[in-house]
Amino acid sequence: MNMDHTTVTSGVTQTDKRRRRTTELMIAAAGILLSLLLIVVGRTYGDYFYVASYVVLQFVLLATAWNVLGGYSGYVNFGSAGFFAVGCYTTILLGKLFDAPLAVCVPAAGIVAGLIGLGTGYLSLRLRGVFFSIATLALAVMLQTLIVNWSYVGGARGVYVLRPDTSGPFDSYVQLLAIVMCLMATAAVIVAVVVERSWIGFGLAALRDDETAAEAAGVPSLRLKLIATTLSGFLMGVAGAPFPYYITYVDPASAFSLAIAINTIAMPLIGGTATWWGPVVGALLLGITQQVLTVTISSAANLLIVGVLLVIFVAVAPNGIVGLVRKFRESRR
Amino acid sequence: MSKNDFTINRREALAGIATAALTAGSIVPASAQTQQPIRIGMGMAMTGGLAALGKSALLGMQIWKDDLNARGGLLGRKVEFVTYDDQSSPAVVPGIYSKLIDIDKVDLVVSGYATNQIAAAMPTIMQKKRLFMTLFGLAANDQFKYDRYFQMQPNGPDARMEFSRGYIETAMAMNPKPKTIALVGADAEFPNIALDGARENAKKAGLKIVYDKMYPPNTIDFGTIVRSIKATEAELVFVASYPPDSAGMVRAAREVGLKSRMFGGGMIGLQSAALKTQLGPLLNGVVGYDLYVPEPTLKFPGIEEFLKKYQAEAAKQGVDPLGFYIAPFAYAEMQVLEQAIVAVGSLDEAKLAQHIHKASFDTVAGTIKFQERGEWAEPRVLLVQYQGVTGNDVEQFKQTGRQVILHPPKYKSGDIKAPFGD
C-alpha cells in the first residue's frame, strides 16, 4: 500500500512544518517566475502563447481543486464542470448587476462555488463511493437546468461579455488573463500543499483508507470532508471566474462543457492523486499535449487521446506519474 | 515476466507519450512567412455537432480557391488555406485565431461556422484589427460593433424579425385572413431570437397569439406539444427549432393530424439533404425559411456551375449532397474578398474594409451590399413551401417546383397550398 494511504492523523511535527514552508515558498517563487516568464516569452511569441498558457494553467487549477477532495479523501467529484460554471456565471451576474471588475468577480465566484460545495457536502457526504459521485453529477445537471432557464444571465440563448479596456502594464487583455490564471493556479497549488501536509490532509488520507476505522479513531470525518468540498468548490469557482472574458460569448454548453468535466478528473488520475504535484504534472502533460494537438492533428481526437491515456494509466500505472516516479526511485535504491 | 520488465515497459510507455508530445510540438508550422502564396486562415467545425455544415462550407471555399488558382490566383499570387478544426467548440477558437495570426502569420482570416465560434474569435480579431469575413453569425456584431466585420447570412440589419416576416406576410395575404397563431420553439439561442421576432410580427399584423411556449432543447416526444397546439385550434403554427426537433415536430404534426392553415416557419435542418430525404413526403405543405433553393427566380450568375462542381465533389467527400444552404454563401464570401482585393490592389485590411463597406459585390449568392454593422443591407431570407415531394429520393430536390418560394415577392416562384393538413 502507498505510504500516503497509511499516514496517521497525529500532530504535525516542527520538521514537517519547516518542510511545508519551504515547499510553499518554492511554489510561490516558481509561480512568480512563471508569471514573469509569461510576460517576457509572450512578447516574442504573441498572444497565442498567452491563450495556450491560460488554458493549460486553468487545467492546473481545476485539477488541483479536484484533487483536494477526490485525491486526498477519495470522494470522486463528477460535477466539476458545474462548479466551474458557477464561477463563470457569477462573473456574468456581477458584471450585469454592478459592472464588477475581475478582481471582485474572482473571490465572489470562489465564495459562491465554495458555498455550493459546502451545501453539497452537507447533503451528500452521507453517501459514499459511487453514490457520492452520482450525486455530484446530478448537481451539475441541476445547475445547468437552472442556468438554461435563467434568462437574466443569458439562459439557453447565451450571453455576450465584452472585455474591459486593457490598462496598466499589460499589452493585451489575454496577457492579463494568463497572468491572473498563473497566480491563481500557484495559489491553488500552495493551498493543496497546506492541506496535504497539515492535520486536514492526514485526516482525509485516513478517511480515504478506511472511513469507519478513522472515525473510530477519532478523526472528525464530517468536518474534514466539509472543509475539502468547500475548498475544492471554491477553487473550481475561481477557475471559472475569468472564463467569460476569455471566451466572450458564454452559453450553457460552453460553461458546462464535457471537456472540462473529463479533463478535470483525467489530469489528477494521470498525474497521480496522492500528492500536490501529481495533478500539476498531469495537467501540464495533458494540457500542453491537447494544445499542441488542436493546432497540429486538429480534431476532436483531443478527448479521445485523454481517454486512451486514462485507460493506459489505469491499466499500467494506477498511481499515475507520481506512482511511476516512486517505483523508479525505489527500484534504484 | 519479472517485475523489472514491467518497470521498463512503463518507462517506455511514459517515454513514448513524452516523445509523442515533443514530436507533435516540433511539427508546429514554423512562423516563417513567405511572400507567396496568399494564406487565408480559419477555424472550421470538421468534427462535433456543427461538422456537417462546417464541412459543406469548407468545400464551398475550396472550390473558390481552386477556381481562383486555375485563373492565376490573386494579385499574381496563388491562394492557400490554413485550416484548423474548431471541434464545434467555441472554447478552442481564441487559441486557433491567435495561432493563425501570431504564429502562422496568415495574410487574412475568415470565420468558421457559426455564431458562437464567431463571437469567441472576435476579441482576438478586434485587438489585432483584422478584417473578418464571417459565415452565418446571428447578430454576432451587434454587441461588438466592429467596423471590419462582414457577415454572409442574408438576415439583414434586423435578423430577429426576418425569420418570421415572410411567414406572417404570406399568412396575412391569404383569404380569409387568419386571426390566430400558435408560437412554439426550443429554449435555445436561435429559436428564442426567431420567436421574439415572430411575436412582434404577429402583434403588428393583429394576430391573436393563442399558444406561446418553449420546450427544453433535448425534448424527444413532440406528440403532446402538437396535441396541445391542436386543442387551441390556431390557424397558423409558427415553429422555431433545431434539426432534431424540426424532424420531431413535422412527424408529430402528421401523426396527430394537425389541420392548421400554415405550419412551420423558422425550422433549422429542413435545408439539409439529410432531413429532406429523411422526411420525404411528410414535408409536403410545410413552410420554412431558406436561403437558396433551385427555383427559376433565383438564377444568380455562376450558381449552377458552382453547384455542379460542389455536388460532384460532395458525393466523394460524403458531405451534404445538395449544398444549397451554406456552401453558396461560403463561396460568395470568398468572392467578396477576392473582388475587394482586386479593387484595392493590396491586402491592406483597413482599405479592404472601407471598400467592402462602400461597394456592392456580384456573387453566386446574388448581389450583396453590406450595412454599417457588416450585415447584408437588404435581407433575403426566403419562405419556401415543400410541394409535390414523393418518396425519399434526394435528386427530386434538385428540381424546380419542390421548394416553392412564397416570399419575398421579388423571388416568388409559386403559390401557397393551404391548409397544411390536406
Inform me whether the pLDDT recorded for B13 exceeds 60: no
What is the rounded average pLDDT of the residues B280-295? Answer: 96
All structural domains of chain B: 38-157+307-369 (3.40.50.2300), 159-297+381-411 (3.40.50.2300)
Q: Give the CA radius of gyration of chain B.
A: 24
* Cβ–Cβ < 8 Å for B53, B323: no
Residue B1: how many other CB atoms lie within 10 Å: 6
* Chain A interface mutation, best of B87, B126, B144, B193, highest count of A Cβ atoms under 10 Å: B87
Nearest-CA neighbor of A174 among A39, A313, A34, A68?
A39
Query: Does A152 fall in a domain?
Result: yes
Q: Which amino acid is at B105?
A: K
* Chain B interface mutation, best of A51, A142, A149, highest count of B Cβ atoms under 10 Å: A51
What is the average pLDDT score of chain B? Answer: 90
What is the rounded average pLDDT of the residues A262-281? Answer: 92
Q: How far apart are CA B374 and CA B359, in angstroms?
A: 12
* Cβ–Cβ < 8 Å for A267, A287: yes
Residues 271-290 of A with CB under 8 A from B: 285, 288-289
Q: How far apart are CA B39 and CA A174, in angstroms?
A: 25
Chain B residues in contact with A247 by the CB 8 A cut-off are 90-91, 93-94, 120
The answer to whether the CB atoms of A163 and B123 lie below 8 A apart is yes
- Chain position carrying cell 479521445: A304
Domain count across chain A: 1
Q: Which amino acid is at B421?
A: G
For residue A69, give its domain range.
3-260
Q: What is the pLDDT of residue A31?
A: 86
Query: Does A173 fall in a domain?
Result: yes
Q: How far apart are CA B66 and CA A215, in angstroms?
A: 72
Q: What share of chain A is helix, strand, coil (3-state, %, to 5)?
A: 75, 0, 20
Q: What are phi and psi of B182, to 5 degrees?
A: -110, 135
Q: Residue B59: in which H helix or E strand, if any?
A: helix B51-70
Chain B residues in contact with A48 by the CB 8 A cut-off are 95, 98-99, 101-103
A304 has a chain B CB within 8 A of its CB: no
Q: A62-115, pLDDT tens digit by residue?
A: 999 999 999 999 999 999 999 999 999 999 999 999 999 999 999 999 999 999
* Cβ–Cβ < 8 Å for B273, B322: yes
Alpha helices, H only, B79-221 = 93-98, 115-127, 159-172, 189-204
Q: Regarding predicted confidence, which is higher, B102 or A118?
A: A118
What is the rounded average pLDDT of the residues A284-294? Answer: 88
Q: What is the pLDDT of residue B29?
A: 42
Q: Regarding predicted confidence, which is higher, B31 or A281?
A: A281
* Cβ–Cβ < 8 Å for A111, A83: no
Q: B84-140, pLDDT tens digit by residue?
A: 999 888 888 988 998 899 889 999 999 999 888 998 899 889 988 999 999 999 888
Inform me whether the pLDDT recorded for B32 exceeds 70: no
Q: A173-184, pLDDT tens digit by residue?
A: 999 999 999 999
- Give the C-alpha distances (Å, rounded to integers) separating B173 from A148, B170, B176, B409: 37, 5, 8, 12
Query: Does A299 fall in a domain?
Result: no
Query: Does A166 fall in a domain?
Result: yes
What is the rounded average pLDDT of the residues A131-144? Answer: 92
- Give the C-alpha distances (Å, rounded to integers) separating A66 from A53, A75, A133, A188, A281: 20, 10, 12, 11, 14
Q: Regarding predicted confidence, which is higher, A14 or A150?
A: A150
Q: What are phi and psi of A81, to 5 degrees?
A: -60, -30
Q: How far is A106 from chain B (nearest CA, A)?
A: 20
B8 has a chain A CB within 8 A of its CB: no
Q: How far is A254 from chain B (nearest CA, A)?
A: 7
Which cell goes with B336? 467578396
Query: Which segment of A90-94, A230-234, A307-311 scores lowest on mean pLDDT?
Result: A307-311
Q: What is the pLDDT of residue B91?
A: 85
Please tell me which residue of chain A has the smallest CA distance to B119.
Answer: A249
Which cell goes with A307? 481517454
Q: How far apart are CA B299 and CA B309, in angstroms?
A: 16
Residue A29: how many other CB atoms lie within 10 Å: 11
What percent of chain B has pLDDT above 90? Answer: 77
Query: Does A132 fall in a domain?
Result: yes
What is the rounded average pLDDT of the residues A39-49? Answer: 82
Q: Which residues contact B40 (CB under 8 A, 6 or more apart)?
A: B79, B80, B81, B82, B106, B107, B108, B109, B110, B337
A51 has a chain B CB within 8 A of its CB: yes
The closest CB to that of B102, out of A47, A328, A331, belongs to: A47
Q: How far apart are CA B158 and CA B303, in angstroms?
A: 26
Q: What is the pLDDT of residue B203?
A: 96
Query: Does A273 fall in a domain?
Result: no
Q: Which residues contact B417 (CB under 8 A, 6 or more apart)?
A: B285, B385, B387
Inform me whether the pLDDT recorded for B21 exceeds 80: no
What is the rounded average pLDDT of the residues B69-92? Answer: 92
Query: Cα angle at A260 between A255 and A263, to 5 degrees?
Result: 175
Inform me whether the pLDDT recorded for B22 exceeds 60: no
The answer to whether the CB atoms of B192 and A155 lie below 8 A apart is yes
What is the rounded average pLDDT of the residues A17-43? Answer: 84
Would you say the ipTM is above 0.85? no
What is the rounded average pLDDT of the residues B143-156? Answer: 94
Q: How far apart are CA B300 and CA B302, in angstroms?
A: 6
Q: What is the pLDDT of residue B116?
A: 86
Q: Regarding predicted confidence, which is higher, B410 or A27?
A: B410
Residues 56-115 of A with CB under 8 A from B: none
* Chain A interface mutation, best of B88, B92, B142, highest count of A Cβ atoms under 10 Å: B92
What sign results for the dihedral spanned by CA atoms A216, A222, A228, A231?
negative
Query: Does A284 fall in a domain?
Result: no
Predicted confidence band of residue A300 (pLDDT cuts 50, 70, 90): low
Q: B350-375, pLDDT tens digit by residue?
A: 999 999 999 999 999 999 999 999 99
B359 has a chain A CB within 8 A of its CB: no
Q: What is the pLDDT of residue A165?
A: 79
What is the rounded average pLDDT of the residues A41-47? Answer: 79
What is the rounded average pLDDT of the residues B267-290? Answer: 95
Inform me whether the pLDDT recorded for A241 exceeds 50: yes
Q: What residues does B108 pair with on adjacent strands?
A: B40
Q: B199-254, pLDDT tens digit by residue?
A: 999 999 999 999 999 998 788 999 999 999 999 999 999 999 988 899 999 999 99
Query: Which segment of B6-20, B97-111, B146-160 scores lowest on mean pLDDT?
Result: B6-20
Q: How far is B96 from chain A (nearest CA, A)?
A: 7
Inform me whether the pLDDT recorded for B421 exceeds 60: yes
The answer to whether the CB atoms of B94 and A174 lie below 8 A apart is yes
With H, G, I as helix, E, B as strand and everything else as coil, classify residue B407: strand
* Cβ–Cβ < 8 Å for A218, A91: no
A3 has a chain B CB within 8 A of its CB: no
Q: How far is A145 from chain B (nearest CA, A)?
A: 9
Q: How far apart are CA B241 and CA B8, in angstroms?
A: 56
Q: How far apart are CA B135 and CA B61, in angstroms?
A: 11
Q: How far apart are CA B63 and CA B9, in angstroms?
A: 49
Q: What is the pLDDT of residue A298?
A: 63
Query: Does A256 fall in a domain?
Result: yes
Q: B305-359, pLDDT tens digit by residue?
A: 999 999 999 989 989 999 999 999 999 999 999 999 999 999 999 999 999 999 9
Alpha helices, H only, B318-384 = 327-344, 349-358
What sign results for the dihedral spanned by CA atoms B16, B17, B20, B25?
negative
What is the rounded average pLDDT of the residues B24-48? Answer: 68
Residue B308: exposure state from Cβ atoms within 10 A (0-12, 13-18, ≥19) = exposed
